[in-house]
Amino acid sequence: MITGASVGLGLAIARELLANTQFHLILTARAQSMARFAEQGLVEGPRVWLRALEVTSAQEREAVIAEIEQRFGALDVLINNAGIAYRCVVEHVDSDERQAQMDVNFLAPMELIRRVLPAMRAQRSGRILSISSVGGMMAMPTMAVYSASKFALEGSCEALWYEVRPWSIHVTLVQPGFIHSDGFTKVRMTRESQFSAQHEEDPYHEHYASMEPFIGRVMQHTPATPESVARTVRRTICRRRPPLRVTATWDALFFSLLRRFMPRTLYHRFLYWKLPNVKKWGWPPGGSPG
C-alpha cells in the first residue's frame, strides 16, 4: 500500500513496483486527487486497487486497512509517502499550521503503522517504509516545521525498528534529498511567511528571498529524479534484510557523511556560511553589516 500515490514520488514508486514486482498494489490518494490516476493511465485491475484515503482521517484509514486485511489477511508492505511541506521560519508559523504539518507527515504515518502492525505480527513478517528526507537528518532555515515533522518520524521509526524485529518486521526510512521535479512550487506558505516574502521591509524577507530561488535551482539541476528514488525504494523492499536508513540521492549521502565525520560545531558554522546571501540576513534593505 502506497499513500500519496497519485503524483510525484508516490506515482513513480507505484509505476516502478507495478513494472518490476508481482505485488498487488493498493494505491491511495485524497478523494479530490483520485482523477489523477486515470490521467496517468493507472486503472484498477487484477493487481491494482485504487482507494481514496485522507491519511489524517481515522475513519478512512480504518476503512481502507480493514478492506485490505479482509481480502489479504495482512499488508506485506506499507509505504508512508504522503506528505506536505510548509516554508516558514519558526516565528511565522501558528499552532494550527504547525499541527497540520505534523498531522500529515508524522501523526498519520504513525497511526497507519499502529493499525497494520497487529496483522503483520500475526503473520510474523512485514515491511514498513516511510519516506523521510534530508530534512529529517538536518534542518534548513525557512523549513523548520517540515524538519520537525521528519525528525519526529525518524525518531519514532528508529524506536520501532527495535520493537518489531522479534516478529521479522523490517522498518526502513528512505531519505531522499533534492529531486529534479517541480515539488518546490507546491510548498505551502503560512500567512506570515507569504507576507514576509512579498515585503522587503519585513525582518525575514531576505531569508525567503534567498532560500526559495536557491532551492529551486538545486532541484532543477540535481541528477536525482522521482524514478531513480523509486528504484531505490523497490530495491529496498526486495532486500532480505533492509537497513533502518537508506539514502536515496547523492546529496543525502553527502550530508550524512558530513554529519558523521565533521565536528558538530564546525559543521553548523560551515553550513551557515554556505547559506545563500547570508551576509544580508538581518539587515534592512540597503543596509549592510557594520
Active site members: 132, 146, 150
Closest CA to 237 of 26, 5, 77: 77
Q: Are 88 and 189 in contact (CB under 8 A)?
A: yes
d(CA 142, CA 92): 9
Run of H or E including 277: none
Distances, alpha carbon 278 to alpha carbons 146, 208, 227, 275, 282, in Å = 21, 11, 34, 5, 9
Scanning the chain, the segments in alpha helix (DSSP H) are 8-20, 35-39, 58-72, 95-102, 108-123, 144-164, 191-198, 205-221, 226-238, 250-261, 264-273
Q: Which residue has the cell 533492509?
A: 242
Q: How many other β-carbons are positioned within 10 Å of the β-carbon of residue 289?
A: 8
CA 226, CA 211: separation in Å to the nearest integer?
Answer: 22
Q: Are strands 126-131 and 77-80 parallel, antiparallel or unpaired?
A: parallel
Are 18 and 47 spatial neighbours (Cβ–Cβ below 8 Å)? Answer: yes
Query: Nearest CA to 159 among 133, 139, 130?
Result: 130
Cβ-based neighbours of 127, under 8 Å, separated by 6 or more: 76, 77, 78, 169, 170, 171, 172, 237, 242
